[in-house]
């Protein structure tokens, strides 16, 4: 009797060959990724700049504009405490800072530096009062103005909100929120994981004092583990298809793994008062003995969100539109994730020009 074409032994052989081919492909891909990752000469944050003010480890940059200023109102950029500033100035051709400078804006950025053991007791009160407020004063002093625009990316937008609600002078003329959390009622998986009944933030903070960057990094990546641990490889080919340079792709992956420690006191406040108590939208968050009242904010608002952002969900950003007193409000959503608002072809071709045009009309 004639045997079937695929009997059990041959099927097993075919399966083994497929598995071996897959393993070889995966190993080759990983080797190429390792080669691409290893670039000791890869530089980021290349837009020329001057340091115009320092406090401890923080530095206030003013970016050099050789073409002259077309717009009088300066821009101060703020970003998250746990990241490096160069996400806003990644590589030439893929830099929001560079784009705005080329459009004739007077651009500043407050770089937090890298927090270490001696910074473990830094609180949001100190960060707002001693750092952001002084940086704002220096921006206005160097640009010889009495008003400015603030762009806050991620947590930088949250802190910008705290500052703007408490300081009427110098006047904040324009506020740009880029994936910035304001309402923490529904923060996706973060709301579940950080719920007070299951996450003891006091115990975590008392144990570490200074929250290690690895602890924060792993937590963020586990919000979307497939994308963060596996899709790194597929993003390379997608980036190539979209016309993004290999250098820009490597720079982004460098930034993703280049986090910094989180001061323990600020971390406790961030989790307890925002994620667990949602104090900001309730006007119950306290800075230096004063309540942060969102209705005090009357600047023109531009709120940018990513439809697929799993770190800051769109509904976390948009409540500022209703809670502020602003009469000039714009809300735009893009089909991207958290980083896609500042990196990638859509950021370069759509988000950057939108920010520049919106600011130009109000500066």
Tell me which of 102, 154, 258, 298 is the catalytic residue: 154
Q: What percent of the chain clears pLDDT 90, i.e. is strictly above it?
A: 69
**Over the range 142-162, which residues count as b (16 or more CB within 10 Å of their CB) and which as e?**
bbebebbbbbbbbbbbbbbbb
* Residue 109 pLDDT: 98
Is the pLDDT at 28 greater than 80, yes or no?
no
Peptide bond into 170 cis (omega under 30): yes
Range(s) of the domain holding residue 132: 49-361
User: Terminal CA-to-CA distance of the chain, rounded, Å?
Assistant: 87
Average pLDDT in the chain? 88
Taking CA 128 as the corner, what is the angle to CA 127 and CA 131, rounded to the nearest 5 degrees? 60
* Residue 20 pLDDT: 72
Residue 259: in which H helix or E strand, if any? none
Look up the CATH number of the domain holding residue 242: 3.40.50.1820
Q: Identify the band that residue 251 occupies on the pLDDT scale cut at 50, 70 and 90.
A: confident
Within-domain flag for 299: yes
- Domains identified in the chain, total number: 1
Q: How many CA atoms lie within 13 A of 131 on its CB side?
A: 27
Within-domain flag for 22: no
Asked if 275 contacts 184 with a C-beta cutoff of 8 angstroms, the reply is yes
- Among the residue ranges 34-48, 238-252, 277-291, the one predicted with the least confidence is 238-252
Whole-model pTM: value is: 0.85
Largest CA distance in the chain: 96
- Among the residue ranges 3-17, 298-312, 323-337, the one predicted with the least confidence is 3-17
* Residue 226 pLDDT: 45
Within-domain flag for 272: yes
Q: Regarding predicted confidence, which is higher, 13 or 162?
A: 162
Within-domain flag for 10: no
Within-domain flag for 94: yes
Q: Which residue has the tokens 């002093």?
A: 141
- Among the residue ranges 122-126, 212-216, 292-296, 333-337, the one predicted with the least confidence is 212-216
Nearest C-alpha neighbor of 306 from the set 142, 157, 178, 123 = 178
Q: Distance (Å, rounded) from C-alpha 230 to C-alpha 335?
A: 21
* Residue 292 pLDDT: 98
Q: Which residue has the tokens 């340079």?
A: 245
Q: Identify the band that residue 43 occupies on the pLDDT scale cut at 50, 70 and 90.
A: confident
- Among the residue ranges 98-102, 122-126, 220-224, the one predicted with the least confidence is 220-224
Q: Distance (Å, rounded) from C-alpha 5 to C-alpha 102?
A: 67
Tell me which of 106, 111, 183, 338 is the catalytic residue: 338
Within-domain flag for 242: yes
Arithmetic mean of pLDDT, 314-342 = 96
Asked if 116 contacts 261 with a C-beta cutoff of 8 angstroms, the reply is yes
Within-domain flag for 293: yes
* Residue 33 pLDDT: 56
Q: Identify the band that residue 184 occupies on the pLDDT scale cut at 50, 70 and 90.
A: very high
Q: Are strands 300-306 and 171-178 parallel, antiparallel or unpaired?
A: parallel
Is the pLDDT at 66 greater than 70, yes or no?
yes
Q: Regarding predicted confidence, which is higher, 218 or 1?
A: 218
Within-domain flag for 336: yes
Distances (CA, A) of 96 to 49, 79, 234, 288, 294: 14, 13, 25, 33, 27
Does residue 154 have an active-site annotation? Answer: yes
Q: Residue 107 is encoded by which pair of tokens?
A: 């651009």
Residue 218: in which H helix or E strand, if any? helix 213-221
Is the pLDDT at 156 greater than 80, yes or no?
yes
Q: How many CA atoms lie within 13 A of 117 on its CB side?
A: 0
Arithmetic mean of pLDDT, 150-179 = 98
Q: Identify the band that residue 7 occupies on the pLDDT scale cut at 50, 70 and 90.
A: very low
* Residue 3 pLDDT: 45
> Residue 75: beta bridge partners?
107, 149
């Amino acid at each position: 009797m004639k045997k079937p074409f695929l009997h059990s032994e041959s099927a097993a052989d075919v399966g083994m060959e497929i598995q071996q081919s897959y393993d070889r492909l995966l190993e080759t891909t990983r080797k190429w990724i390792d080669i691409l990752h290893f670039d000791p000469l890869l530089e980021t944050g290349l837009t020329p700049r001057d340091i115009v003010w320092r406090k401890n480890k923080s530095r206030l940059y003013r970016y050099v504009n050789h073409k002259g200023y077309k717009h009088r109102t300066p821009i101060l950029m703020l970003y998250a405490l746990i990241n490096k500033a160069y996400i806003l100035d990644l590589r030439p051709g893929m830099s929001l800072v560079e784009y705005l400078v080329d459009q004739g804006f007077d651009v500043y950025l407050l770089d937090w530096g890298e927090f270490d053991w001696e910074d473990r007791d830094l609180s949001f009160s100190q960060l707002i009062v001693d750092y952001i407020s002084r940086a704002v004063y220096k921006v206005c002093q160097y640009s010889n103005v009495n008003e400015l625009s603030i762009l806050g990316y991620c947590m930088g937008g949250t802190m910008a909100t705290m500052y703007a609600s408490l300081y009427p002078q110098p006047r904040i003329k324009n506020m740009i929120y880029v994936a910035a959390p304001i309402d923490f009622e529904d923060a996706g998986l973060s709301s579940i994981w950080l719920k007070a009944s299951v996450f003891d933030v006091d115990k975590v903070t008392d144990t570490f004092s200074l929250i290690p960057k690895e602890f924060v990094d792993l937590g963020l990546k586990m919000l979307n583990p497939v994308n963060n641990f596996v899709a790194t490889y597929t993003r390379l080919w997608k980036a190539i298809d979209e016309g993004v340079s290999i250098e820009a792709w490597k720079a982004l992956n460098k930034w993703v793994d280049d986090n910094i420690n989180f001061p323990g006191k600020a971390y406790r406040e961030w989790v307890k008062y925002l994620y667990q108590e949602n104090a900001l939208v309730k006007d119950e968050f306290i800075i230096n003995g004063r309540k942060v009242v969102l209705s005090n904010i009357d600047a023109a608002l531009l709120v940018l969100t990513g439809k697929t952002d799993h770190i800051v969900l769109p509904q976390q950003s948009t409540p500022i539109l209703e809670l502020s007193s602003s009469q000039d409000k714009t809300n735009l959503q893009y089909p991207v994730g958290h980083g896609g608002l500042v990196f990638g072809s859509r950021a370069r071709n759509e988000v950057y020009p939108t920010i520049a045009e919106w600011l130009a009309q109000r500066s």
